[in-house]
Amino acid sequence: MLKIRLFSFTFFLLLCTLGAFAQQVSTIKGKVTTSDGKPAAYITVGLKGKGQGATTDDDGKYTINRVKPGTYTLRVSAVGINTSEKSITVSAGQNIVVDFVLQENDQALEDVTIAGINEKYKVSLPSATLRLNEPLLEAPQNIQVVSSQAIKDQQIISMSDGLIRNVSGAVRLEHWGDMYTNILMRGSQIQAMRNGFNVVSSYWGPLTEDLSFVDHIEFVKGPAGFMLGNGDPSGMYNVVTKKPTGLNQGEVSFTAGSYDLYRTTIDLDHKLTADGKFLFRLNAAAQNKASFRPFEHNDRYSFAPVLSYQITPSTKLTAEYTLQNAKMTEVGSYYLFSTKGYASLPRDFTNTQPGVQPTRINDHSLTLNLQQQLGANWKLTAQAAYYKYLQTGSSSWPSAVYDNGTIIRNVGIWDAESTMKLAQLFINGTVETGGIVHRILAGFDGGEKNYMADWGQSHDLDLPSSPFNLANPYYGFPSNGYPNFDRTTSLEQRAIAAGGLINSKYLSGYVQDELGFWENKIRLTLAGRYTYVSQSAYGSPPDKAKHVTPRVGLSVSVDKNTSVYALYDEAFTPQSGFLRDGSTAEPITGNNKEIGIKKDWFDGRWNTTLSVYRIMKQNELAADPSNAAGENFSVVVSEKRAQGIEFDLRGEIVKGLNLIANYAYTDGKVTKVADGLQQSTLFVGQVIPGFAKHTSNAWLTYSLQNGTLKGFGISGGFTYLVDRATANFSPSNPEQNLPDYFKLDGGLFWANKKLRINANVFNLLDKYLYSGSYYTTYWNAPDYNQPAYSWQAEAPRNYRVTVAYKF
């Protein structure tokens, strides 16, 4: 009886304590809307200097629980809006309702994670690293943004993992599997950027980013003179990494999937000082991943801390370090080879030899970013970056493919090192003269890139007397033993001997003025960039080029939700080669002419973009058809053309139903041929590989909004490619061309404010999917000249399950 009374008394005291505690804390809630009455989703609302806060939901509503009595400053902030603050006094047990109406600005001066007021899949503003200080609706260019929510919903874990389904006209060459992304768009490979820096130092790179530290990705179609003057005129993508938000929050997730995929990520976002001046964010991931092919693995981890310090109210410094480490099967293990045709081997077949040393990669980057506010309308940004890529490993590719169903497997050394030193300084501002609003962008870019690689050593795993039999493979000790590469000398010495040196230096300046007329309803962009580049590759003498690339754009707001635009922009790409007359190769020059229409629908919940473009490229080099044995001269091709139509749709169609859908028609051909080349393999009308003629993609999610199953949803999507000409195309031999491609994915999910469970099944139809090329005279073994098919198969039907918890 005494125990019962003691327990009852203790329970009573506990209830009293909890009741008293409940009376001591309060709740703050409300709704955040934009100036035109639309709900402002995913906006940060916090108690200034206290580390307590929340993020608005799809309806713009927020709730901050467990607030102690006192006087606070409630602060609302995001990119593209004027920060709003309200002073409130909270009494014990009181529930307070505080609503905000936001005012958008053009400066995007707040540096938080999400670029603008965005819904689940629709992003309204570009990131600050894209340098444009205007809404995407007003920009005279086709820019598509893959949001962080789309990345989560589709369980994308790397840049080469289905990301491009979210952008019209983008396809992958899939060179070297998951090591490099290599995205093709508008007829050729586009440039890779990270936080506004061009991070391409050679064709082999950069290492595909792990999505654990990536917030969102911006795809800029066509030349982007406001970003870079030298590069392919087809476009670029800009990876925007995660930054501190000013709230104390975090998320941890665990993913398991087919073929021994196990992955853990953590995202810690925290204030280091109570006043919110010193912020910290850490994103890390660890992954073990095997394959549907035997003996293959791709294990990785990444570590990405970010520190941000508000030195003064107008000065902010951010330091960011990223490490990616990979241990994977030798590069090239993904490919199959046969003289019998594509898909003539089982998709889980492998040529990989167990026991070959894995490839190891360490990829480091350090970025410093300083932002200085200059009055109310101007901001100066200075940033510098250092990239270091280290690789020790090998690549596999056959020495010979025989018509009798055997091959000679070969492993070649591939040790590489890349170093990049990059710097930028630019200023954004707004000024008004005589009723005309000027959005000004001006700045400088400079950098030095060096790449060295030893691929001068190789070893045949199989003897000619005992080749590898594709019909009856033997994975025991290879008949010719394992390679034993000589690494006694430095990588630089070995790279010089192998001809594996690539380097470039560049410096450019850029000025742009966007003139806004009639209350900014008509916007005329006038800009120009001067670029100087010096580069050399594979032992050729340095090529130096300087070029001025103009940019003219016109954007007209038909109404507040619709704009039409026209654009003319140029780019150039320096190139190396030996011309017979001893002259220096001129850079490839290219221009893009484009018109388009953009529209926000149903109060901005979703938008569409339709564009038509034509890209012309001149001066590209090709092999001289009159080359004798041992000669390596080039000739100048006159002109190539890529043209097409692109359509993108993204956003919330109705409440709970979100859709990403796109279509693109692309065509690339030779339009002019230099004298002496008409009788060669190059001719007017010839298809220039680097695209699929028709690409269609869609991804749809629907979640229940009410009832006991609130938060439960279903998702699905497809990719459909027709007339693929990604690597080669033959009008006379259709069997050498890739067949059409159709992939269907789908899944289920459930989520509340803290927990999310997501499960997707990929390749639902279990189709044999692949990409590849037909080689006529690729292998150079003595007395060997056998054409062959090469392809890389994708996984059969497979699944992933992710459990994520926010704290």
- CA dist 765 and 743 (Å) reads 7
Instruction: Please identify which residue in the block is written with the tokens 């190789």.
Output: 458
Tell me what pLDDT residue 65 has.
81
- Give the DSSP letter of residue 230: B
pLDDT band with cut points at 50, 70 and 90 for residue 116: very low
- CA dist 432 and 447 (Å) reads 34
Instruction: Decide whether 22-101 matches 249-806 in CATH topology.
Output: no
- CA dist 323 and 110 (Å) reads 26
Q: In this structure, what are the phi and psi dihedrals at residue 9, rounded to the nearest 5 degrees?
A: -65, -40
Tell me what pLDDT residue 16 has.
45
Tell me what pLDDT residue 58 has.
64
- Give the DSSP letter of residue 481: -
Tell me what pLDDT residue 777 has.
59
HEC readout, 147-162? CHHHHHHCCCCECCCC
* DSSP for 247-311, written as a single string: S-EEEEEEEEETTTEEEEEEEEEEESSTTS-EEEEEEEEEEE---SSTT--EEEEEEEEEEEEEE
Tell me what pLDDT residue 692 has.
96
On whether the CB atoms of residues 167 and 147 are closer than 8 A, the answer is no
Tell me what pLDDT residue 80 has.
52
Model pLDDT for residues 708-718, shown as the tens digit of each residue: 999 999 999 99
If you average pLDDT over residues 232-243, what whole number do you get?
93
If you average pLDDT over residues 749-761, what whole number do you get?
95
Question: 627 in the Ramachandran plot: left (φ > 0), alpha (ψ -120 to 50) or beta?
Answer: beta
C-alpha distances (whole Å) from 774 to each of 340, 667, 724 are: 11, 20, 13
- Give residue 727's identity as a one-letter amino acid code: A
State the pairing for strand pair 578-579/633-636: parallel
pLDDT band with cut points at 50, 70 and 90 for residue 104: low
Select from 403, 408, 298 the least CA-distant residue to 353: 408
If you average pLDDT over residues 669-683, what whole number do you get?
74
If you average pLDDT over residues 267-278, what whole number do you get?
92
Model pLDDT for residues 200-209, shown as the tens digit of each residue: 888 777 889 9
Instruction: Please identify which residue in the block is written with the tokens 């007003």.
Output: 138
Model pLDDT for residues 50-92, shown as the tens digit of each residue: 767 777 876 788 888 878 888 888 888 764 566 788 889 888 8
From the candidate CATH numbers 2.40.160.20, 2.60.40.1120, 3.40.50.80, 3.40.50.1110, the one assigned to the domain spanning 22-101: 2.60.40.1120
Model pLDDT for residues 348-403, shown as the tens digit of each residue: 999 999 999 999 999 999 999 999 999 888 999 999 999 999 999 999 999 999 99
- CA dist 697 and 554 (Å) reads 29
**Could you tell me what percent of the chain has a pLDDT over 90?**
62
Rg (CA), the chain: 28
Verdict on whether the full-model pTM lies above 0.75: yes
Domain ranges of the chain: 22-101, 249-806
pLDDT band with cut points at 50, 70 and 90 for residue 118: very low
603's CB contacts (< 8 A; 6+ apart) are: 36, 37, 38
- CA dist 410 and 483 (Å) reads 9
- CA dist 618 and 462 (Å) reads 45
Model pLDDT for residues 558-608, shown as the tens digit of each residue: 998 999 999 999 988 877 666 777 776 778 888 999 999 999 998 889 999
pLDDT band with cut points at 50, 70 and 90 for residue 522: very high
581's CB contacts (< 8 A; 6+ apart) are: none
Tell me what pLDDT residue 111 has.
39
Q: Would you say how long the chain is, in residues?
A: 807
47's CB contacts (< 8 A; 6+ apart) are: 53, 64, 67, 72, 73, 74, 75
Q: Report the topology of domain 249-806.
A: Maltoporin; Chain A (2.40.170)
On whether the CB atoms of residues 549 and 529 are closer than 8 A, the answer is yes
